[in-house]
Amino acid sequence: MIRGEKLYEGKAKVVYATDDPDVYLQDFKDSATAFDGKKKGTIGDKGRVNNIMSAQLFALLEEAGVKTHFLGLESDTAMRIHRLDMFQVEFVVRNIVAGSLSKRIGYPEGTPLKNPPIVEYYYKSDDLGDPLLCSAHLDELQVVSPEDLSEATVMSKSVNSVLQEFFAARGITLVDFKLEFGKDAAGVVRLGDEISPDTCRLWDSATNEKLDKDRFRRDMGGVEDAYAEVLRRVTGPESA
Ligand code: TMP
Ligand code: ASP
């Protein structure tokens, strides 16, 4: 596919136009940021890991009836995707307490939720630092319609069920993750963005060892090895 104009460069990906107006290329980078870009670094081979892993998980979700933006792999670090008009909301799905939820409600990391999953909404706004939104804020902002919000919420829970089972069979606990949705040219709501150790908390089921971007955020070391291990388990046979 012809790689056209660079349309957008984010912290972890570059999006290019193609010769088809409804198809974009999404190219994953090794660069990593955290805390609204205040922490910067590079994770070796991350672009390839996140591309190959996202491709496999999008294909799995499509098989399970969840519509995604994935069209096919283009290279080691790039995939073809449907052009979507993205909702300005991030959907965070949580099964176990970690990260900002632990700080917000005071439960220690690792506490199972009483009635999982929780779905939270965050406003995609770099200027505001992606704040958590409650439903009254969503009503006021009107960045996503109530129908689209409820459809994407149902889809988020389906994604959780599919991925929890998939990861469990590979010895990984799916703690939480962030999703982004948008509408294609036909008005169909699709899952976009990526599903990777950048956007999920993944813990080894036997040891609770962190196998995700928290190793980078928290300066724990072993970041590249953790990403490589997740890719090995995702692309390899079931182990548990
Ligand atoms: P949090 O506990 O920091 O709110 O993160 C929840 C999940 O969302 C976690 O799996 C990491 C992911 N996430 C992103 O993908 N991008 C972000 O900018 C943030 C803050 C979290
Ligand atoms: N990617 C986000 C940032 O750079 C945050 C994160 O993943 O922790 O701010």
Convert the pLDDT of each residue in 87-142 to its tens digit: 999 999 999 999 999 999 999 999 999 999 999 999 999 999 999 999 999 999 99
Residue 239's pLDDT is 81
Cβ atoms within 10 Å, residue 4 = 14
From the list 91, 94, 152, the residue with the least C-alpha distance to 118 is: 94
Burial class (CB in 10 A: 0-12, 13-18, 19+), 51: buried
Task: Report pLDDT for 82.
Answer: 98
Give 105's DSSP letter: H
Enumerate residues lining ligand 1, CB below 6 A. 92, 98-101, 130, 176-178, 199-201
Residue 81's pLDDT is what? Answer: 98
Domains of the chain: 3-82 (3.30.200.20), 86-223 (3.30.470.20)
Q: What are phi and psi of 226, to 5 degrees?
A: -65, -45
Centre of ligand 1 from the C-alpha of residue 160, in Å = 15
Spatial contact of 59 and 70, defined as CB atoms under 8 Å apart: yes
Q: What residues contact residue 159 under an 8 Å CB cut-off, 6+ apart?
A: 61, 66, 93, 179, 191
Residue 240 has pLDDT above 70, yes or no: no
User: What's the mean per-residue pLDDT of the chain?
Assistant: 97
Nearest-atom index, ligand 1, CA of 34: 18
Give residue ranges with CB within 6 A of ligand 2. Answer: 11, 33-37, 213, 217
Ligand with an atom nearest the CA of residue 96: 1
